Amino acid sequence: MKIVIVGGVAGGASAAARARRLSEDAEIIVLERGEYVSFANCGLPYHIGGVIPERQSLILKTPQDFKTRFNIDVRVRHEVLAIDPEQKSVTVKNLTTGENYTETWDRLLLSTGAAPIVPPLPGLNETGVFSLRSINDMDAIIAWIKQHDVSHATLVGGGFIGLEVMEALTERGMSVTLLEMGNQVMAPVDPEMASALHQEIRNHGVDLRLKTALKQVTRDVAGLSVELSSGEKLRTGMVLLAIGVKPESRLATDAGIATGERGGIRVNAQMQTSVPGIYAVGDAVETQDLVFQSPTLIPLAGPANRQGRIAADNMLMNRGSTYRGSQGTAICKVFSLSIGSCGANEKQLAARGRRYEKVYVHSADHASYYPGAAMISLKLLFDPQNGTILGAQASGQNGVDKRIDVLAVAQRAGMKVADLEHLELTYAPPFNSARDVVNQAGMVATNVLFGDTAICHASDIQQLDPATQCLLDIRNPGELTQFGEYPNALSIPLDTLRENLGRLPKDKEILIGCQSGLRGHVAYRILTAQGFRARNLSGGFKTWQAVLQATE
């Protein structure tokens, strides 16, 4: 069997290596348009920032490596121009010699990836305007900074690449302006979870402009300028576009291969396209969203690697290996803060009319009495009727990856929130608490699910009706001074609540606020046992404050 793979990196390279491990006899050819067939594209910002000092570290495998170990014919700087499904052939251009030739195949795999989104704005073709998708892009950015002694950069887009490059350039000692058209950076999380990220960014001197779009780039004798949607103009030494990516599916559509509503190549669970014998993987394909069971685009390296393996299994062995949907599990480091997510966020659930409930937990990443403990804030989204885990988000200095990974596994395994409190996770004071943050989130959600508590959210506090509701702050006086106060709240510390029940109106619903939600549950149980109608603010003042910051 002869397998031709169009494109390397995560999807194509993993498929090629897996195919060889499955068959010593197959002829395997990889056609890669760029100069590098296997490189760590996720590591590019870290070389720009100097965290990864050696450029060579990013080049994972060379064509000679593939030939020596796997007997795979890798041809870099070879661009596939067209696919002929009838003749089972591709037209290839050797970009070094300019020669065109035809290559036949028994099985064809498309791993064409995604291209940076470049909006139709004036001036984006000026020198000094960059995107970051390849080694060559990285080299060009570093060279520009050195040659022009750049002191200020404007980044457009607050997604993963924008945030990572923002940190990298800041670590180089440059001033950075980050433009984000939306009301938050890192769209996979909800606004109140992103508010800590906004604070971290600004604390490191970055000029973060939310709800601000790029209007145009201009160049004069003094250099580059950017005009913003506000009308303001800024001088800058370079512009980097990190608005997002779009699937490179033109080669497929020109060959009559079906694409989906999101513009990606349509594949089934075996990674087969609409044309027999042709498979596709990676950033170019639409896969099934695990929560909504609808097509989605997930331009991440992990899914691309797994899809490449599955495609190789099915091309060679026809063993029915399937890709089981995408959760979009992801994490990003921004200075000393990490923020990660899996599954659906609240914005997506609300937009699709899906029923959901949410709980917040704020807890130390390991035993609070052991030195170095830091806070993790976790948001858990679930179905209020059956406890199905719909999504999770977390932020903190340490341990965010562990908690999101555990929740991603639980979600994929079909576990319910009630199962989370029973997870037996590692514990020793330097690493964890006896009740892990995930255990705690499961306990809080299960209390809601089973009716052991009733919760409210920041929106309920914002819309509080004084005629029918009363806001009760059960924190100690020192906390009010240190952290701030709820608006128009009656203050009764928890430990004095029982002897002050007479101060509470029996004819009104009591909305309870504490610092993190934990003591509020205790107060809720006391009040409801005495016949009061009550609800506890999930996440307490920490979440309340985050919501306020997100709406400023």
Question: What pLDDT, in 10s, does the model give residues 171-194?
Answer: 999 999 999 999 999 999 999 999
* CA distance between the termini of the chain: 61
| From-to residues of CATH 3.40.250.10 in the chain | 455-551
Query: Per residue in 456-474, is it b (16+ CB within 10 Å) or e — as a string?
Result: bbbebbeebeeeebbbbbb
Q: Which residues, in sequence order, are bridge partners of residue 39?
A: 59
103 and 89 Cβ atoms separated by less than 8 Å: yes
Taking alpha carbons only, the member of 302, 418, 274, 351 closest to residue 9 is: 302
Please tell me what DSSP assigns to residue 388: B
**Residue 173 exposed, middle or buried by CB count within 10 Å (0-12, 13-18, 19+):** exposed
Is 3.40.50.720 the CATH classification of the domain at 129-243? no
Q: Are 158 and 142 in contact (CB under 8 A)?
A: no
3-state DSSP call for residue 177?
Answer: strand
Query: Which part of the chain has CATH 3.50.50.60?
Result: 2-114+246-316, 129-243, 336-449
Q: What is the pLDDT of residue 203?
A: 97
Fold of 455-551: Oxidized Rhodanese; domain 1 (3.40.250)
- 42 is known as an active-site residue: yes
Tell me, what's the pLDDT at 552?
73
Q: What is the dihedral of CA 426, 431, 436, 438, to 10 degrees?
A: -90
Burial (CB < 10 A; 0-12, 13-18, 19+), residue 333, is: middle
pLDDT of residue 551: 83
Low-confidence ranges of the chain (pLDDT < 50): none
CATH class given for the domain over 336-449? alpha beta
Task: Output Rg (C-alpha) for the chain, integer angstroms.
Answer: 27
CATH number of the domain located at residue range(s) 2-114+246-316 in this protein: 3.50.50.60
Report pLDDT for 537.
Answer: 98
